[in-house]
Amino acid sequence: MQTHEIRERFTQHFVNAGHTEVPSASLILDDPTLLFVNAGMVPFKPYFLGQQNPPFPNGTATSIQKCVRTLDIEEVGITTRHNTFFQMAGNFSFGQYFKEGAITHAWTLLTGKVEEGGYGLDPERLWVTVYLDDDEAADIWHEKIGIPKERIQRLGMADNYWSMGIPGPCGPCSEIYYDRGPEYGREGGPIADDNRYMEIWNLVFMQNERGEGTGKDSFEILGPLPKKNIDTGMGVERVACILQGVDNVYETDLLRPVINVAEELTGTTYGSEHQVDIRFRVIADHSRTGMMLILDGVTPGNEGRGYILRRLLRRIIRSARLLGAQGKTMEAFMNSIMDTMTPSFPEIAANRERIVRVAVAEERAFLKTLESGTHLFENAAAEAQDAGRKTLSGSQAFTLHDTYGFPIDLTLEMAAEAGLEVDTEGFEKLMGEQRARAKADSKAKKHGHTDLSVYRDFVDNHPTEFTGFDELETTSSIIGLVKDGESINQAHEGEEVEVILEATPMYAEAGGQLGDRGVIRAGETLLQVNDVQKIGKKLWVHKATVTNGGVDVGSTVTAEVDHKWRHGARQAHSATHLIHAALREVLGPTAVQAGSMNRPGYLRFDFNYTDQLTPEQLADIERITNQAVDIDWDVNTIETTLDEAKAMGAMALFGENYGERVRVVEIGGPFSMELCGGTHVKHSSQIGPVAVLGEASVGSGVRRIEAYSGMDSFQYLSKEAALASGLAASMKTPTEQLPDRIAALTEKLKAAEKQIAQLHQQQLAAQTAGLVNQAVDINGVKVLCSRLPEGTKGGDLRKVATDLRGRFGQDPAVLVLATEDGAKVPFIVAATKAAVDKGVKAGDLINVLGEYIGGRGGGKPDMAQGSGSQAEGLDAGFNAVKDALQQLVG
């Protein structure tokens, strides 16, 4: 079924059900909060917010809204379901039908017979999710629609609760997923695998009002809305993907023709390898988004919407060049995408010439700078990589921007592809200097980059032979010496130098394992190796200090690994594999490695997981890991092809670009089997004890476990045992009873602290009770201004003010209290209801006092608090408050 027909069937289905057909709004709306329309409901916001009455006769509407989400730019092509431009088909009800109606409408269209206007999807392949406590929606799906309970899954606020991100309407939602089959992932529904189970429709039940807050799940729900509304969104591209039987949204009838054109222009075949496919998908996706933006009046520029369009078009051009295109490509891409999109958007035909003209002009301008700028970037990246650096300097990024017109985003993207970061702080500093001084001055600061291409010949013609899997000492020859980025022939005592050997047993940092330490010997000459880095995946660079004698290029030397260092590194790296396996056993297969670092005796392991681990889970991970150590499994390494390794079940991590031959490290058969190029122990028992130190969050959806291995673990556990033993002795309690003893003491301490707090409050109440008599009358309002005893905590002010205010009963009264709490001067203003009725506002009076004591505050009419720092101004401040009240109630 073609996409145009999918759109027609959706619209007709809801028009037949009494909905008003609403044409798609422009991608550019008069909304200061949005660059582009990014959701189907955006044009209907005034109706959902109650700002306007919906102009639809039946209180229902349907539309297929064109949308652009710029946050998805970096995901394009990498995932199989992200588009920057997409069509969101929706139906909307403003106080008419609610959950049952929305669910029934969606189900009827999705599963209805094709000959009767439906999509004909197999109902047995549809799954749904509902909000955690939305029993009403779950019951409708099960009892009314007939979906088995096992295909109804519940998710929390972050996934199945909708709001606009600001105070206003909100509510639970229900999402419909299509099971694409076992070839796309594991069983278990959307919770288990959202690639196999593709979300195609989201039904939002607007029934509540939300308050202030941030994020998807950190806001207060204030109560129900006066009217319950429906907002749904069906992804047209995703439904097309399913109905057309293609693997992803880039291969549907709308985008695949652009890929075909790109194949013809580049001579490269789509589907040959992942990175190549990403570039084809970028071309297809961005061609459509760019065309639709130009259609709606956006032109390339350096700011706002124009910058987004320029960035998209330049990514197309660069991707085509990387695929092999030699000449201009934009006109062909634009014509192809306009051919596929015109049936759905007839207005394209009248704007065809303008769209091509804008796109081709941008291509012409960018091609003039792309070649020279790309060459400069490649040189800079090579210099950084050859020197073992992981960062491109700010000055290099600035030169690309200033001289060659490269947006910083493009430099960041190219750097990421090269495995580099960019010194953005340095870049921003130079940008600031450029704005502050003449261009000629700034140009003077952009010369003299060090040439670090000295390693290139070694990478290409003399790759290092690594012998460290089989031996810790290797006789070799020095084939290169580098100092300060330049090739040298000799190095002398006291110099720091980079040594390139023909062969080495020293491991170069990779896969999370730090580089080896060791020595290079030649007679009386001794070099201390402090680090080993890999360049171009082929060249080992030994960073060393000449501690005795001197050395020449061509010298025969013996390279020896520090045995203790390697032993500890092997233990930690093998322990990392065991912890990974234990983690997956405890948390399930969704806990996937996201990074690691191991050095002798210590490891940290990052993994994708959203929830904090419980103490019980951590204990289980530690127990399973040490059981694997105790079993004394053989640690086997197998060299094989990548396909054979995957067939064995070996885990390939990080989406790395592995070669044809790979190394599989297997511990305990299926317990742990990973692709890994690191060094490992021979038997799991050689790891020694593993002590898990704890876990914590290190980013959104990523957590980290830290642990010790070997002697470091033993020493840590010994210290812990000694601490527990000493504590038990001081408490005269057996070690095993320490937790109960400490818990009991903690409860006693809490009780004592509570009793002290109560006594403090009683004492403070007794000290301040008499203050009521010090109140003065100002035109019928009793006013009490007083300093509380020094040392009174700021937190006590509110309690004292509330107590004293109650003592005035129904009389109009205002209390102004302050105290000195260290260097701070907390203060509070409280007013009785009778005083508020006279026009007193505590929030106004608090600022009057604040002006005299260097502070400020805020609150409600009956009570406001603040804090200052100048106690000497209190008396004057009290008088100012009295004067203000005199004028207010006079």
Of all residues in the chain, the percent with pLDDT exceeding 90 is 55
Q: Tell me the two tokens of residue 404.
A: 């060659």
Asked whether residue 381 is domain-assigned, the answer is no
Stretch 87-92: mean pLDDT: 96
593 in the same domain as 475: no
Q: Rounded to an integer, what distance in angstroms lies between the CA atom of residue 254 and that of residue 813?
A: 73
The predicted pLDDT at position 433 comes to 79
Residues 6+ apart with CB under 8 A from 712: 568, 600, 601, 602
Asked whether residue 32 is domain-assigned, the answer is yes
Stretch 218-223: mean pLDDT: 85
SS3 of residue 104 by DSSP: helix
| Residue 13 annotated as lining a ligand binding site | no
Confidence grade of residue 197 (pLDDT, cut at 50, 70, 90): very high
CA angle 251, 253, 257 (to 5 degrees): 75
Stretch 539-555: mean pLDDT: 93
Asked whether residue 748 is domain-assigned, the answer is no
Give 570's Cβ-side CA count (13 Å radius).
Answer: 23
Please tell me the total count of domains within the chain.
5
The predicted pLDDT at position 652 comes to 67
SS3 of residue 791 by DSSP: coil
The predicted pLDDT at position 742 comes to 87
276 in the same domain as 204: no
608 in the same domain as 510: no
Q: Rounded to an integer, what distance in angstroms lies between the CA atom of residue 327 and that of residue 317?
A: 10
Q: 3-state SS string over 4-43?
A: HHHHHHHHHHHHHCCCEEECCCCCCCCCCCCCCCCCCCHH
CATH of residue 641's domain is 3.30.980.10
Residue identified by tokens 């690691």 is 596
Please give the torsion angle defined by the CA atoms of residues 351, 355, 356 and 362, in that order, rounded to the nearest 10 degrees. 160
Stretch 410-439: mean pLDDT: 78
Domain boundary among 717, 735, 760: 717
Which candidate, 789, 791, 742, 733, places its Cα nearest to that of 766? Answer: 789
The DSSP code sequence of 492-536 is ETT-EEEEEESEE-SPPSBTTBPPP-EEEEETTEEEEEEEEEEET
Neighbours of 426 (CB within 10 A): 17
Stretch 549-558: mean pLDDT: 92
Residue identified by tokens 């009838």 is 253
The DSSP code sequence of 704-756 is EEEEEEHHHHHHHHHHHHHHHHHHHHHHT--GGGHHHHHHHHHHHHHHHHHHH
Residues 6+ apart with CB under 8 A from 277: 77, 270, 271
199 in the same domain as 102: yes
Q: How many whole angstroms from its chain centre is CA 352? A: 39
Q: Tell me the two tokens of residue 704.
A: 């980290």
Q: Rounded to an integer, what distance in angstroms lies between the CA atom of residue 793 and that of residue 710?
A: 50
362 in the same domain as 243: no
| Residue 573 annotated as lining a ligand binding site | yes
Asked whether residue 90 is domain-assigned, the answer is yes
Confidence grade of residue 814 (pLDDT, cut at 50, 70, 90): very high
Domain boundary among 195, 221, 248: 248
For 652, the domain range is 569-717
CA angle 9, 11, 15 (to 5 degrees): 115
Of all residues in the chain, the percent with pLDDT exceeding 70 is 93
pLDDT in tens, 433-461: 766 653 333 233 222 333 346 887 787 67
Which candidate, 856, 848, 858, 854, places its Cα nearest to that of 878? Answer: 848
CA angle 483, 485, 486 (to 5 degrees): 70
How many residues can be counted in the chain? 890
Asked whether residue 388 is domain-assigned, the answer is no
Q: Which residues pair with 776 in a beta bridge?
A: 783
Rounded to the nearest integer, the mean pLDDT of the chain is 88
82 in the same domain as 104: yes
The predicted pLDDT at position 794 comes to 64
Confidence grade of residue 655 (pLDDT, cut at 50, 70, 90): very low
Asked whether residue 113 is domain-assigned, the answer is yes
Stretch 157-168: mean pLDDT: 85
CATH of residue 117's domain is 3.30.930.10
| Residue 170 annotated as lining a ligand binding site | no
Of 211-220, 301-310, 651-660, 679-688, the range with the highest mean pLDDT is 679-688
pLDDT in tens, 329-353: 999 999 999 999 999 999 899 889 8
Which candidate, 153, 148, 108, places its Cα nearest to that of 134? Answer: 153
Phi, psi at 819, each rounded to 5°: -155, 165
The predicted pLDDT at position 438 comes to 37
CATH of residue 553's domain is 2.40.30.130
pLDDT in tens, 679-735: 999 999 999 999 999 998 875 456 899 999 999 999 998 998 888 888 888 888 888
244 in the same domain as 300: no
Stretch 176-194: mean pLDDT: 94
Stretch 9-16: mean pLDDT: 97
Better-scored residue on pLDDT, 115 or 388 = 115
Asked whether residue 460 is domain-assigned, the answer is yes
Residue identified by tokens 């009455």 is 53
700 in the same domain as 595: yes
Helix, strand, coil percent content, the chain, rounded in steps of 5: 45, 25, 30
Distances (CA, A) of 587 to 151, 608, 613, 802: 22, 11, 9, 50
Distances (CA, A) of 629 to 574, 668, 714: 10, 10, 14
Q: Rounded to an integer, what distance in angstroms lies between the CA atom of residue 498 and that of residue 485?
A: 9
The predicted pLDDT at position 444 comes to 31
Angle, helices 274-295/304-323, rounded to nearest 10 degrees = 140
Stretch 32-48: mean pLDDT: 84
The predicted pLDDT at position 792 comes to 73
Distances (CA, A) of 583 to 620, 672, 708: 9, 11, 16
Domain boundary among 561, 584, 617: 561
| Residue 676 annotated as lining a ligand binding site | yes
Q: Tell me the two tokens of residue 420.
A: 């580099």
Is the model's pLDDT at 598 over the cut of 50?
Answer: yes
198 in the same domain as 74: yes
Q: Rounded to an integer, what distance in angstroms lies between the CA atom of residue 363 and that of residue 357?
A: 10
The predicted pLDDT at position 846 comes to 92
The predicted pLDDT at position 448 comes to 30
Asked whether residue 798 is domain-assigned, the answer is yes
Is the model's pLDDT at 113 over the cut of 70?
Answer: yes
The DSSP code sequence of 51-70 is SS----TTSEEEEEEEEE-G
260 in the same domain as 124: no
pLDDT in tens, 628-637: 999 999 999 9
285 in the same domain as 196: no
User: In angstroms, what is the C-alpha Rg of the chain?
Assistant: 35
Mean pLDDT check: name the lowest of 250-259, 322-331, 691-700, 841-850: 691-700
Q: Tell me the two tokens of residue 670.
A: 């299926």
Is the model's pLDDT at 538 over the cut of 80?
Answer: yes
Q: Tell me the two tokens of residue 800.
A: 């004292």
Q: Which residues pair with 203 in a beta bridge?
A: 174, 232
pTM for the model:
0.49
607 in the same domain as 512: no
